[in-house]
Structure 1
Amino acid sequence: MIVPTKGVAPQRALLAVAAQVVLATDRQPVTVNQAWRRLLAWREENKHKAPIPFWWFALALDLLYAMDLVELERDVLIFRARRNAA
């Protein structure tokens, strides 16, 4: 589910969808709705045909939050810069 498996295509794995959210938003502050719409547009532009339901997108946001890459402030998603390992 998080990574591709026999039953989860690579373009639908949560890790891939989370990366697509980051690419689609260009790490700019956006609302959840804007991020969702940009993800759908990005997937269409890049010919990802597998449908993504909103709840799967929400799980991808949860994954980004668990990885400390995004937070929600005043209804806006704020993407954090990647930290280097010490």
Structure 2
Amino acid sequence: MATGWAGDGAVQDQIDATVDEAIQRARAHLREGPGLTHCEHCDAPIPEARRKAVPGVRLCVRCQEADDAAQQGGAAYNRRGSKDSQLR
């Protein structure tokens, strides 16, 4: 049951939109094709097993972890300004 100006299911619509945007962001960062043999940040060799497991790999594990941690910093911010963050 919605109150005020919100329609029925408005909260679920906001949650669905947030999830859809996260999926689109993740898909945009997927790479394809052959990966690099050396990390583009630190020039460390990338093992063949990693290149086979992660198509289009460009970073070694250490640099990838650092990059992921840096990107997680803004993930807690609710860009929509809605209350769906209370449901997490």
After TM superposition, is the score higher than 0.5? no
* TM-score of the aligned structures, taking structure 2 as reference length: 0.26
Higher fraction of strand: 1
Q: Which has the bigger relative contact order, CA under 8 A and spacing at least 6?
A: 1
Bigger Cα Rg:
2
